[in-house]
Amino acid sequence: MFYGAIEAGGTKMNCAVADERSIIDECSLPTTTPEETMAAIFAFFDKYTLATMGVGSFGPIGIDPQQETYGKILATPKKGWQQFDFLGTLKKRYPATRFAWTTDVNAAAFGELKQGAAQGMRSCVYLTIGTGIGAGIVINEEIFQGAGHPEVGHTFVKRYPQDDYVGTCPYHKDCLEGLAAGPSLEARTGIKGQHLPKDHEIWDLQAFYIGQALVNITLTVAPDRIVLGGGVMNQPHLLTKIHDQFTEQMAGYMETPAVTEYIVAWGLPNKSGIIGSLLLGKEAQ
Ligand code: ADP
Ligand code: ZN
């Protein structure tokens, strides 16, 4: 029996096939037009008869089966993909396969809960800080979503003292993503995050915003654990600063586990999304 998974990103599509035990085949394809990209995806998966497939997609996406938008990519800035019926196109090609469909960050949160840094927990929030900021929420071992999926990256945060940077979000300018995703590090300093020295003062500002976002998440969701991933978290010293900011800004109001246990780095670096998609697929009815 084979199980498929797609971690669908705006830059690349990571595809995997697993048997009962482990991943046996993988590929990473560039995300170009839907026609070209889907043809490449089919070429990879056509070699297998898949019992299930889990898809964790960039968004926003339609996730309510009762709505006409279900399975589609919605208001993405990615050209050609707006309103693309991603799930429908896959189902048409593989009619005998059972599908799971959610956001990339929800899939990653699920992967971290089942096999990563939040194993043994019943709930977790996974926050990625990369080109954008996004969060997936798992509560009682199930993905949390309403009529739509959460968009934590676009929530608002109070400003760091003296920060007058306008923000990179095309919709809101200075939402969390606009002030604290990878591109804002480069926009503020002229240096890409990966090349910034550890002692640069920007990391205090960065930790201020992420710490604050984690306070907001804690106050709203009260998860068992928060897992941080994404390119910007490849800075190990940043996690300590985030712990300090979280403690300071929470100001003793809400009790959480010890901060180093509560806010942790991802356990499946760059793999949470594909593993989570695979596992969600296996649970699909
Ligand atoms: P994506 O979000 O596109 O999937 P990543 O999670 O790798 O990809 O995030 C890319 C962003 O993270 C870029 O803005 C990049 O400059 C930044 N980044 C990558 N590596 C590091 C690093 N070691 N330290 C800080 N920022 C980094
Ligand atoms: Zn925004």
Q: Which amino acid is at 157?
A: V
Q: Is 123 left (phi over 0), alpha (psi -120 to 50) or beta?
A: beta
Please name each of the domains of the chain with its CATH number. 2-104 (3.30.420.40), 117-265 (3.30.420.40)
Is 130 near ligand 1, meaning CB less than 6 Å away? Answer: yes
3-state per-residue secondary structure call for the chain: CEEEEEEECCCEEEEEEECCCCEEEEEEEECCCHHHHHHHHHHHHCCCCEEEEEEEECCCEECCCCCCCECEECCCCCCCCCCCEHHHHHHHHCCCCEEEEEEHHHHHHHHHHHHCCCCCCCCEEEEEECCCEEEEEEECCEECCCCCCCCHHHCCCCCCCCCCCCCCECCCECCHHHHHCHHHHHHHHCCCHHHCCCCCCHHHHHHHHHHHHHHHHHHHHCCCEEEEECHHHHCHHHHHHHHHHHHHHHCCCCCCCCHHHHEEECCCCCCHHHHHHHHHHHHCC
**Phi, then psi, of 124 in degrees rounded to 5:** -155, 160
pLDDT on residue 57:
97
Please report which ligand is nearest the Cα atom of 184: 1
**Binding site membership of 32 for ligand 1 (Cβ less than 6 Å):** no
Indicate if the pLDDT at residue 271 is higher than 90.
yes
At 54-69, the pLDDT tens digits run 999 998 999 999 999 9
How confident is the model at residue 246, as a pLDDT? Answer: 98
Check pLDDT > 90 for residue 70: yes
Say how far apart CA 32 and CA 70 lie, in whole Å. Answer: 22
Per-residue model confidence as pLDDT tens digits over 2-45: 999 999 999 999 999 999 999 999 999 999 999 999 999 999 99
For 176-189, the pLDDT digits (tens) are 999 999 999 999 99
pLDDT number for residue 285: 75
Q: How far is the CA of 183 from the centre of ligand 1 (A)?
A: 8
pLDDT tens-digit readout, 117-158: 999 999 999 999 999 999 999 999 999 988 899 999 999 999
- Residue 234, ligand 1, Cβ within 6 A: yes
Name the residue with the closest Cα to ligand 1, atom 9.
130
pTM (predicted TM-score): 0.96
